[in-house]
Amino acid sequence: MAPGVVGVMFAAGRIWDAVTDPAVGYLSDRTRTRLGRRRPWMLAGIPLLLASFAMLWSPPRALEGAALGVWIGVALLGFYSGYTCYSIPHGSLGAELSRGHHDRTRIFGLRHVTLTLGIISAFVALQLVQNAEDPRLAARTVVYLVVPFAALVLAVPPLVLRERPEHQGRGAGSPRRVLGDVWRNPHARILLAVLFVEALGGAVIGVLAPFVTKYVVERPEAVALLPAFYVFASVASVPLWVRVSRRFGKPRSWLVGMLGTGLAFGATVFTGSGDLVYVSVLLVIAGGFAGAGGAMAQSVLADVMDVDEYRTGERKEGAYSAAAGFAFKAAAGCTIALTGLALQASGFEPNQRQAGAALWTLKLLFAGGPFVGNLIGALIFRRFRLDAAEHARIREELDARHAAQESDR
C-alpha cells in the first residue's frame, strides 16, 4: 500500500480515537454501577480491542486494493474505539488511586514502565514478522500468542482494583459546561498545549524509527534495535526522575526532560549510513530524558484535576484524561498523515535504496519533529505555576471540605 494511503488511514483512526475520547471520558464520569464509574468501560473495551487487533494483523490473503483498504480501515476504527474505552477510564482510575502529590508520580511512572514494556514487545514482534520467510504467517502467529495473553493482562485492573465510593455521583454536568470548565482552568490550558506540541513532533519517532534504521543507517536487521534503545532508556530512567521530581519539583524536572529529549533528537540529523552506534547513543540519551514526561505528565494532570474540584466541586478525571488524550492523539494523527504524504512527495519508494530528497526528508522529520516540538513545549511549560506548595494548599482545602461534609452526615 502507498505510504500516503497508509498515513491517511492511520491518521483517520487516530483522529477518530481523539474524537471519541471526550465522549467516553464524559460518560465514564457520570456512570453509576456497583462496579464503579471506570471498570465497566474497561471490561467492555477488552473484546473490541482484541478482535480488531486480530483483524489488523491477519487480513485474508485474498484481499487486495480497495478491499484490503476497507478491511484495515474498519479494523483501525474498531481498535481505536476499544482502546479509548479502556485507556481513558484506566488513566482516570490511576488519578483516583492516591491524592498524594508525589505518590501520583510513582503510580504513573509505573504505568509508563508497563506501557513501554508493551511497546518494546510490539517492536520485537515487528522485527520477527519482517525477518520471517512468510510475514503473513508470522503475523498470524503473533495474533495467536498476543490475544490470550493480552486478555488476561487487561482484565487485571478492572477486576482487582477498587474505586473510591465517595466519587460516585460527583461527575460532570452537561458536556458543554465540562468543556468550559476544562478551558477555564489555566493550568489545564498550559498542560494541554504542551501535550499537543510535544505530540506533533514526537509522533514521528514510532513511525519513522524503522525507516531510519533501514534506509538512513542501512541496517535493516536492526529495525527493532533503535526503538528498543529509546524505550529501554525511558523505562530505566523513571526511578531517577521520580527522585529528582521529589527534590526539585515536577514542573522543573519535566522541563529539563523536554529540553534534553529535543536536543538529543535534533543531533540525529547528522546520522548517515553505518552510524548505528552514533544514533543508538543519541536515542539512549533522548529516552533517558523522555522518562521525565513519562513519569510526570499524567501525575501533573492528576494535580490539575484537583484544581478543578477546588473550583467546581466535581470529580472529572474522565473529562481531563480525555482532553489530554484528544490533544495528544489529534496531534499524532496530523503528524502521521503529514509524514506519509511528505515521504510520498519526496519520491520515497519502499524496499529500495533512498537518495536525495527522500533521504533528507526521513532525516529531517525524525530529527526535527521532536526537536521543535520539545523546545516549543518547554517554552510554553515555563508558565506553569502549579507546584507542590500550591497543590498542598488546594489539597488541604479539599480535605477540609470532605471532613465537613462527613460531619454533616
> 209-236: per-residue pLDDT in tens?
888 888 888 888 777 777 788 888 998 9
Q: Which helix (H) or strand (E) holds 102?
A: none
Tens of pLDDT, residue by residue over 146-196, are 999 999 999 999 999 888 877 777 777 788 888 899 999 999 999 999 999
Domain presence at residue 16: no
pLDDT value at position 409?
A: 65
- Domain count for the chain, please give it: 1
**Average pLDDT rounded to a whole number, residues 17-33:** 86
Tell me, what's the pLDDT at 269? 92
State the Cα–Cα distance between residues 163 and 168, nearest whole angstrom. Answer: 9
Q: How far is Cα 332 from Cα 30, in angstroms, rounded to an integer?
A: 28
Cα-Cα-Cα-Cα torsion 38, 305, 115, 129, nearest 10 degrees, comes to 80
Do residues 213 and 222 lie in contact, with contact meaning Cβ atoms separated by under 8 Å? yes
Whether 105 and 299 have beta carbons less than 8 Å apart is answered as yes
Candidate from 227-236, 333-342, 369-378 with smallest mean pLDDT: 333-342
Residue 325 lies in a domain: yes
Identify the H or E element spanning 249: none
**What amino acid is encoded at 293 in this protein?**
G
Residue type, 6: V
Question: Can you tell me the distance from the alpha carbon of 94 to that of 113, in angstroms, rounded to the nearest whole number?
Answer: 14
Residue 168 lies in a domain: no
Domain region containing 270:
99-159+175-408
CA atoms of 52 and 56, how far apart (whole Å): 6
Q: Is the pLDDT of residue 6 over 80?
A: no
Cell of 217: 543507517
List the one residue out of 310, 287, 309, 241 whose CA is nearest residue 102.
241
Q: Is residue 197 part of a domain?
A: yes
The full DSSP string for 299-350 is HHHHHHHHHHHHHHS---HHHHHHHHHHHHHHHHHHHHHHHHHHHHHTT--T
CATH number of the structural domain spanning residue 330: 1.20.1250.20
- Other Cβ atoms less than 10 A from the Cβ of 259: the count is 17
Q: Name the amino acid, one letter, at 118.
A: G
Q: Is residue 46 part of a domain?
A: no
- Regarding pTM above 0.85, the answer is no
In whole angstroms, what is the distance from residue 341 CA to residue 65 CA?
A: 19
